[in-house]
Structure 1
Amino acid sequence: MPALDLVPVAALLVLLVVAYLHPRGRVEAGAGLAAAAATFATGMLTWSEVADTLRHLGPVVLFLVTILVVADVCGRAGLFAAAAARVRDLGRGRPVPIFTGVFLLAALVTAVLSLDATVVLLTPVVVGAAVGTGTSYRPGAHACLRMANSASLLLPVSNLTNLLAMPHLDLTFGGFALVMAPVLAVVLVVEYVGLRLLFRRDLAAEPEPHGPVEHPPLPVLPLVVVGLMLVGFGVGSPLGVEPFWCSAAAALVLVAWARRRGLLTARDVVGAAHPAFAVFVLCLGVVVEALAVGPLGDWVADRIPDGSGFVGLLTIALLATLLANLLTNLSATLLLVPLLAPLGDTAVLAALLGLNIGSGLSYTGSLANLLWRRGMVRLGHPPSMREFHRVSLLITPVSLLAAVAALFLVS
C-alpha cells in the first residue's frame, strides 16, 4: 500500500479516538479539521470532490444541529420527565409494565427525535425514575440503548445513517416508513423478548419502598410542535423539501417559547446545537471519501454480492455490521451506501439494518453507544463491559437476522 494511502486511514483512526474520548468542542473540531486537511494534502481528492462531499453532507448536518436543539428544549420543558412519569403511573409500580412502557417510549423518542435524544436526554430520566421508585435501573437503561440503535429504522430522520442514505433511495419519507415499519415491528418483538429474558431477575424483584413521586405536567406546546414537525417531514418529502427546514422551523418556535419562559439562554442554544460536532461530521465525510477511492473502497466493493435474494441481503447486512463496528456506523454509511446504490433500494435498506441494528454489537458501533456509556458513568451507574456485551452479543445477531428476513418478505 502506498504511503499516501495510509494518511486517510491514520486520519480516520484519529477521528475514532476523538469520538471515543469526546473532548471539548474546540478539540473535537480542531482534530476534525486537521484530519481533513491532512487527507486533502495527499491529493487523493480534488476541490470539486471535497465540495461535492460537503454539499451532500450539508443538509444532514443542518438537520442534526436543529433536531438537537429541538430535543434539548423538549428536555428542558420536562417532556421526557412527564412521559416517564406517565409510564410509571400506568405501570402502578410493577417492574414489568414499567419496563414495557419505557421500552416503547424509547422506541418512540428514537423514531421521532433521533437516537441522540434517547441516549442523552431520555436515559437519565429513566434511570432517575427507576431509582426513585425503588426498581432496578438496568432493564430500562439497556432498553434505551437498544432502542437508540434498533428503533432508528422507522423514519429517515431517526438516524443520520438513514438521512445519508436517502439521496441513494427512490423513496419518499412516507415510502421509507411504509417499507421499514413491518421490519421494525419484527425487531421490536425480538428486542423486547430478548431484554425480558436477560433481565428477568431484575424485573421479578419486588420494588423497594420509596417516598412520594413527582407528577410533572406534560408540556403541550413542545408536543404539538414536534407533531407538526413530523407532519412537515411527510408532506415536504414528495415536494423535495429537505428535513432540516422543518426541524429548523420547529427549533425556532421552541427556542422562542423557551426563552420567554426563562428555560434557556442564547449560550444554551449554541451548546445544544453542538456546532463542533457538526464540523467533526463534515470533516469525517472528507476523510471517508478519500478512503472510498482508495484500497478500502476497493476491498468493500469486491465483497458486495451481485444478487438481492435473502443470502445477498444478509451478506450486505453483515458487511454493514462489520464496517459499522470497525469504523462507526456514520463512517460506514458514507463508505458503503454509494457502492450499494446501483443494486437498488432493497440493498441499501439491508445495509441500514446492519448500520443501525448491527451497530449495537460493540461500543464502537455508533456514537450513541459511546454517549450512553458516558452518560451512565456521569449518573454514577457505570455499565460493566461484561453486561453490555452479554446483551449485545445475544440480542443483536437474532434481531439482525429477523430484520433481514422481514425485509426480504416485504420487498
Structure 2
Amino acid sequence: MNAHPAEAVSVVLLLLVLAGAVFRPWGRSEALVAVPAAGTVIAVGALSLDHAAAEAARLGPVTGFLAAVLVLAHLCEREGLFRACGAWMADRAAGSPRRLLGLVFVTASLITAVLSLDATVVLLTPTVFATAARLGVRAGPHLYACAHLANSASLLLPVSNLTNLLAFAASGLTFTRFAALMALPWLVAIGTEYLVIRWFFAGELAAGGRAPDLGRPRELPLSAMLTVVATLAGFVVLSAFGAQPVWAAVVGAAVLAVPALARGRTSVRELVQAAALPFCLFVLALGMVVRAVVDNGLGAALGHLLPDGTGLLALFLLAALAAVLANLINNLPAVLVLLPLTAPTHPGAVLAVLLGVNIGPNLTYTGSLATLLWRRVVRGHGTDVRLGEFTRLGLVSVPLVLSLSVLALWVSLRTVGS
C-alpha cells in the first residue's frame, strides 16, 4: 500500500478504536473494535509483520504485568484491605469533609503508586463513596480526588501506570533511579492537586458531617499488606538484575491467590475476570494500530515539533505537547507515539512526556482510559459527573499542576541526575 492511503487507513482505524474504547458498543470490551483494526492494518500492508511482532514483543510484558497487578489488587480487596482503608478514613475524619479529603489524598496517592491507578479507580472509588455516605458528607470533592489522583499520582513508580511501564522500558533507567527522579514531581503534583480541589470545592467542604459509629475496630489484613510490600521490593530487586517486573507481580498475586482459592474467598473465574484479559488484548491491538500511524507519517510530522535538549523550556514544551496529544487521542496512544521519538535523546525527555500524558488527561473525559472507567464506576453508584464541572476543574488544575511538576522534574534532573 502506498504511503498516503496507508496513512489514511491507519488514522481512520485509530479513531474507530478510540471511539470503541469511549462508547463500548453493545457494552462489549474495547477489544471488539481494536483487534479487527489491528488485523486490518497488517492485512492491507500499513504495518509490516516485522513491526507488528516487535510491537507485540514490546507490549507483551507490559500487558502481562497489568493483568497480574489487577489480580493482586482484586485479592487485596478480597482480604479486606480497601474496607480497612475506608474504616480508617472514616474514623480519622471524625465527620470533617476537609479532613476526609486529606485522608483520601494520602490513601489514593499510595494505592495509585503501589497497586496502580486501576486499583484506585475500580476499588478505592467505591470505598470513598461509601465512606462519604457513612459520614453524611457530599461525595463530589472526594470522588474527583480519586479521578485526578488516578492520573497525576501515578508518576512515582514504573508500576504505577501502564504509561509508566512503557516509559520505564524506553528510558533505560533503573527502578530506583526512575523513582528518585519522579519523587519530587509526584509530591508537587499531589500537593498542587490538593490545594486546587480544596479551593474549587470550598463550599462543599465547609458543610458539616457526622462522626461515624465506630463499632468494632476493623483488623488490618496483614497478609495482603505484607504481600504488597514484598511485591514492591521484588520490583526493585528484579530491576537491578534487568528482569521484567511482571514476574514479581505474578508471584505476589500467586501468594494471595492460593490460600484464597483454598478457603473459597475467590474462584478461578473471578481471578480470570480480574485479570481483564480482553482489556490487555485491547492494549496490544491498540499498540499495533498506533505503530501503523507512526510508521506512515505521524512520527515524522511530530519529530519536527519536538524540542532538543532537557532545559526547562524544552521539558515544558515536551510535556505540553504530550498533554495536548493525550486529550486528542487518549494518553496511551499518545505515549506510544512519543516514546520512540524521545527515547534516543535523553531520559529526561521521556519523563517529561510521562508528565504530560499522566497529568494532562485530567482535562477531559477521554484523556485516559482510567478517567472513562472512573466515570462508569461513579455512574454505577447512582451519581453522574457534570461535564462542565469536570472541565472547569481540569482547566484550573492541569496547567498549574503540569507547569509545577515540569519545574520539579527539571530540579530533579539537575540534583539527582539521570
| TM-score after normalising by structure 1 | 0.97
2:372 is matched with 370
Instruction: Supply the AA of the counterpart residue of 1:33.
Output: V
Q: How far apart are the structure 2 equivalents of 1:107 and 1:214? A: 27
Q: Are residue 36 (structure 1) and residue 38 (structure 2) matched?
A: yes
1:207 is matched with 209
TM-aligned CA deviation for residue 119 of structure 1: 0.7
Between stretches 246-255 and 208-217, larger displacement belongs to 208-217
2:122 is matched with 120
1:103 is matched with 105
Q: How far apart are the structure 2 equivalents of 1:181 and 1:323? A: 24
Instruction: Supply the AA of the counterpart residue of 1:383.
Output: V
Q: How far apart are the structure 2 equivalents of 1:164 and 1:232? A: 19
1:301 is matched with 303
Q: Is the 8 A contact 1:133 1:213 kept in 2?
A: no
1:242 is matched with 244
Q: Are residue 67 (structure 1) and residue 69 (structure 2) matched?
A: yes
| TM-score after normalising by structure 2 | 0.95
List gaps (5 residues or longer) in structure 1.
none
Instruction: Supply the AA of the counterpart residue of 1:235.
Output: V
Q: Is the 8 A contact 1:26 1:276 kept in 2?
A: no
2:91 is matched with 89
Q: Is the 8 A contact 1:78 1:216 kept in 2?
A: no
Selected match of 2:398 from 376, 396, 399: 396
Q: Is the 8 A contact 1:84 1:102 kept in 2?
A: no
3-state DSSP of counterpart to 2:154 = helix
Regions of 4+ moved over 2 Å: 1-4, 21-30, 208-217
Selected match of 1:160 from 159, 162, 170: 162
Q: Is the 8 A contact 2:79 2:221 kept in 1?
A: yes
Q: Is the 8 A contact 1:25 1:276 kept in 2?
A: no
Structure 1 residues 52, 24: closer, same or farther in 2, change over 3 A? Answer: farther
Q: Is the 8 A contact 1:357 1:396 kept in 2?
A: yes
Q: How far apart are the structure 2 equivalents of 1:65 and 1:209? A: 39
1:283 is matched with 285
Structure 1 residues 79, 229: closer, same or farther in 2, change over 3 A? Answer: same
2:407 is matched with 405
Q: Are residue 141 (structure 1) and residue 161 (structure 2) matched?
A: no
Q: How far apart are the structure 2 equivalents of 1:182 and 1:27? A: 37
TM-aligned CA deviation for residue 77 of structure 1: 1.9
TM-aligned CA deviation for residue 406 of structure 1: 0.9
Q: How far apart are the structure 2 equivalents of 1:24 and 1:252? A: 34
Q: Deviations over 1:221-257 (max 9, x none)?
A: 1111011000001111010111100000111111112
Q: How far apart are the structure 1 equivalents of 2:200 and 2:217? A: 30
Q: Deviations over 1:87-126 (max 9, x none)?
A: 2212222221121011110000000000011011100110
1:55 is matched with 57
Q: How far apart are the structure 2 equivalents of 1:238 and 1:19? A: 36
Q: How far apart are the structure 1 equivalents of 2:276 and 2:372? A: 16
Q: Is the 8 A contact 1:310 1:405 kept in 2?
A: yes
Structure 1 residues 116, 350: closer, same or farther in 2, change over 3 A? Answer: same
Between stretches 86-95 and 19-28, larger displacement belongs to 19-28
Instruction: Supply the AA of the counterpart residue of 1:298.
Output: A
Selected match of 1:381 from 364, 373, 383: 383
Selected match of 1:19 from 21, 32, 47: 21
3-state DSSP of counterpart to 1:333 = helix
Q: How far apart are the structure 2 equivalents of 1:353 and 1:378? A: 30
Q: How far apart are the structure 2 equivalents of 1:29 and 1:182? A: 36
Instruction: Supply the AA of the counterpart residue of 1:190.
Output: T
Aligned residue-pair number = 411
Instruction: Supply the AA of the counterpart residue of 1:302.
Output: H
3-state DSSP of counterpart to 2:366 = helix
3-state DSSP of counterpart to 1:84 = helix
Q: How far apart are the structure 1 equivalents of 2:221 and 2:29? A: 36
Q: Deviations over 1:369-399 (max 9, x none)?
A: 0000011100001111111112111111100
3-state DSSP of counterpart to 1:376 = helix
Q: Is the 8 A contact 1:226 1:250 kept in 2?
A: yes
TM-aligned CA deviation for residue 214 of structure 1: 6.8
Selected match of 1:314 from 300, 312, 316: 316
Q: Deviations over 1:259-279 (max 9, x none)?
A: 123221111111000111111
TM-aligned CA deviation for residue 180 of structure 1: 0.6
1:191 is matched with 193
Q: How far apart are the structure 2 equivalents of 1:102 and 1:125? A: 10
TM-aligned CA deviation for residue 212 of structure 1: 6.2
Q: Is the 8 A contact 2:327 2:366 kept in 1?
A: yes
Q: Is the 8 A contact 1:82 1:215 kept in 2?
A: no
3-state DSSP of counterpart to 1:66 = helix
Between stretches 247-256 and 3-12, larger displacement belongs to 3-12
List gaps (5 residues or longer) in structure 2.
414-418
Q: State the identity as a percent.
A: 44
3-state DSSP of counterpart to 1:248 = helix
Q: Is the 8 A contact 1:132 1:213 kept in 2?
A: no
- CA RMSD in angstroms, aligned pairs only: 1.6
Between stretches 106-115 and 131-140, larger displacement belongs to 131-140
3-state DSSP of counterpart to 1:342 = coil
Q: How far apart are the structure 1 equivalents of 2:305 and 2:174? A: 29
